[in-house]
Amino acid sequence: MLNDLAKVLLTKEQIDTRVAELGAQISRDYAGKDLVAICILKGALHFMADLTRQITIPLSIDFMAISSYGAGTKTSGVVRILQDLDSSIADRHVLIVEDIVDSGLTLKYLVDNLSSRRPASLKIVTLLDKPARRAVAIAPHYNGFDIPDEFVVGYGLDYDEKYRNLPFIGVLKPEIYQK
């Protein structure tokens, strides 16, 4: 599996440090508020678990599964909700927990969908932001790292459902996904 990587982009230590900083900032910003963190499956699962352990205020969690990629490396532009929320978010402060913001198409769809459910507020936290690929005007409120336009895997991010279990973020060799 490690032979499939061109390089390590972010180490486990870098990720752990930044996630702790994000958790502290979110804890300050949402103190005294009814916060629900929504994990976007499957990619954000690792980030969500580590982030929520760093948040020191009461919160609830929920999950959504969204599909726009399939087995490819580029978004199809067609977004499907595979799993919706279990609870209402009306009048609650919602934090979307995302693994990566790339084109922004999926996230824009998700923000529009969740906004129609009347939350008190709606913000986005992402581990990775790839602004060079942005196709729509959307930006995370909390961002772990800006990254270059490279295909990354690890820490929840996958290619064809593989590599999610790597404890760091690596750049996949093009010959792996350009078969």
Gap between the Cα atoms of 105 and 102, Å rounded:
8
Nearest-angstrom CA–CA distance, 169 and 174: 15
Model pLDDT for residues 72-119, shown as the tens digit of each residue: 555 556 788 999 999 999 999 999 999 999 989 889 999 999 999 999
**How does 32-50 read in b/e, with b if 16+ C-beta sit within 10 Å?**
eeebbbbbbbbbbbbbbeb
Number of domains in the chain: 1
- Respond yes or no: is residue 102 known to be catalytic: yes
Beta bridge partners of 125: 97, 142
CATH of the domain at 23: 3.40.50.2020
Q: State which residues form the domain around 138.
A: 2-68+76-177
Average pLDDT, the chain: 93
Q: Is the Cβ–Cβ distance between 35 and 57 less than 8 Å?
A: yes
Residue of 4, 86, 99, 102 with catalytic role: 102
One-letter amino acid at 26 equals I
